[in-house]
């Protein structure tokens, strides 16, 4: 089955009892057992529930994985992966990563005896230099957030595996429509389902997908032991979101490319970061690893940080809000919003300028979004 057919049918079989074409939302927290020592497929909803399980089956089919797990948020999913590690273990990660992931890796894990080295993972040789005998996890984000850097997933998988480490890849920004990291050798894919999988700014969720069933089992054990699971209503909304994922991501990517091209030609714009542009340093790799450039564009305007703030506060269709990946277009300043949890020196050192503006391009018409930006940008 093609991707969009799997998105509609796998894990979403009609209800065998009523014939309902949409499987019911199972809200039960517990499941009646035939006898004290035997359960049905389910016993307690933290361990597993039919609605979450339906979503997990679809996600595994879309990523080409053996097992998928639904979490309460993207951060709960990321945290679960880090629980595979023990005191003394080391993580190699990127510098162009979501601010919350940066906070977990730099402010939480070191207190638990885990060390972290952040390098520009779009430079594979920097990853190779950072790996040590203690490295147990290489964590990459591609495209990176908010600079849209592209990391070579296959090269990182080889380096991680040669060192006896796992490669986990946050492809929230790409979605399985554009990149499927397991096909490039990654062990774990992570998504903030809050973004494209939900797609409508109305839920919080996360997901992990593993290539290997044993690793999936281990992560499921940790998830059940620690409890950050996705609830039934969110699972239903994610399953519904997945049915239109391909259409949304391809349409939003096409609009994002046109906006990036338009911004690159605007006199008030000094820099545009978009992997779909030939000028992007990761363009060639993006074209090998991604089906399109994605729906996120970041750019810098000429002038001061105050000028950038004026732009984000002047748009009408682009709503001033963190998050991304929904049908509504959003605009923000990562330095003070999505990446506000970075230490300012660390943020500037990795190239996230104080005045960088990030767009999440939604499903609105290109012309309306372009006109909205045109009226907010300085006219010089
Ligand atoms: C790329 C990326 N990864 C992870 C996360 C964390 O996900 P959540 O907010 O669902 O916990 C986000 C949230 O913005 C994100 O953009």
144-178 confidence digits (pLDDT tens)? 999 999 999 999 999 999 999 999 999 999 999 99
Query: Which residue's C-alpha comes closest to atom 7 of ligand 1?
Result: 74
What are the angstrom distances between the C-alpha of 215 and each of 65, 80, 253, 306? 11, 12, 33, 48
Pocket residue to mutate for ligand 1, from 72, 73, 75, most atoms within 8 A of Cβ: 75
Ligand 1 center–CA 75 separation, angstroms: 6
Query: Which residue's C-alpha comes closest to atom 2 of ligand 1?
Result: 98
Average pLDDT, the chain: 96
Q: Which of 86, 83, 63 is nearest to 187 (CA)?
A: 63
| pLDDT at residue 317, rounded to an integer | 98
Is the minimum distance from the CB of 172 to ligand 1 under 6 angstroms? yes
Specify the 3-state DSSP secondary structure of 301.
strand
Is the minimum distance from the CB of 102 to ligand 1 under 6 angstroms? no
Is the minimum distance from the CB of 142 to ligand 1 under 6 angstroms? no
- Predicted TM-score (pTM) of the model is 0.96
Tens digit of each residue's pLDDT (9 = 90 or more) over 74-98: 999 999 999 999 999 999 999 999 9
- Ligand 1 atom at minimal distance to the Cα of residue 206: 10
Q: Which of 61, 33, 118, 90 is nearest to 343 (CA)?
A: 118
Residues involved in catalysis: 46, 98, 170, 195
Rounded CA-CA distance 211/198 in Å is 23
Which stretches does DSSP call E strand in 24-145? 67-71, 90-94, 115-119, 135-141
Specify the 3-state DSSP secondary structure of 207.
strand
């Amino acid at each position: 089955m093609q991707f969009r057919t799997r998105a509609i049918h796998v894990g979403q079989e009609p209800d065998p009892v009523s014939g309902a074409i949409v499987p019911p939302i199972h809200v039960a927290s517990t499941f009646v057992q035939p006898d004290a020592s035997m359960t049905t497929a389910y016993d307690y909803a933290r361990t597993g529930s039919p609605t979450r399980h339906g979503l997990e089956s679809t996600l595994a089919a879309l990523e080409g994985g053996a097992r998928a797990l639904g979490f309460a948020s993207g951060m709960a999913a990321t945290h679960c992966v880090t629980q595979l590690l023990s005191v003394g273990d080391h993580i190699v990660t990127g510098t162009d990563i979501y601010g919350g992931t940066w906070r977990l890796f730099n402010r939480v894990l070191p207190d638990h005896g885990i060390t972290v080295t952040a390098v520009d993972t779009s430079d594979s040789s920097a990853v190779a230099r950072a790996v040590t005998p203690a490295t147990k996890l290489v964590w990459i984000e591609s495209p990176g957030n908010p600079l849209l850097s592209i990391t070579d997933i296959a090269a990182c998988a080889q380096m991680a595996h040669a060192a006896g480490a796992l490669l986990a890849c946050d492809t929230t920004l790409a979605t399985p429509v554009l990149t499927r990291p397991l096909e490039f050798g990654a062990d774990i894919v992570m998504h903030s389902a809050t973004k494209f999988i939900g797609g409508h700014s109305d839920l919080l969720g996360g997901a992990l997908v593993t290539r290997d069933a044993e690793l999936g089992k281990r992560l499921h054990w940790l998830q059940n032991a620690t409890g950050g699971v996705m609830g039934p209503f969110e699972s239903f909304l994610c399953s519904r979101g997945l049915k239109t994922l391909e259409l949304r991501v391809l349409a939003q990517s096409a609009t994002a490319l046109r906006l990036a091209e338009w911004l690159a030609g605007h006199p008030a714009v000094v820099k545009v970061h978009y992997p779909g542009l030939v000028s992007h340093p990761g363009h060639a790799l993006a074209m090998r690893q991604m089906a399109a450039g994605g729906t996120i564009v970041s750019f810098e305007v000429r002038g001061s940080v105050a000028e950038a703030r004026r732009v984000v506060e002047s748009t009408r269709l682009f709503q001033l809000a963190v998050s991304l990946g929904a049908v509504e277009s959003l605009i923000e300043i990562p330095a003070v919003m999505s990446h506000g949890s970075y230490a300012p020196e660390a943020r500037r050192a990795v190239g996230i300028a104080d005045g960088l503006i990030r767009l999440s391009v939604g499903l609105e018409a290109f012309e309306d979004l372009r006109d909205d930006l045109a009226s907010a940008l300085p006219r010089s």
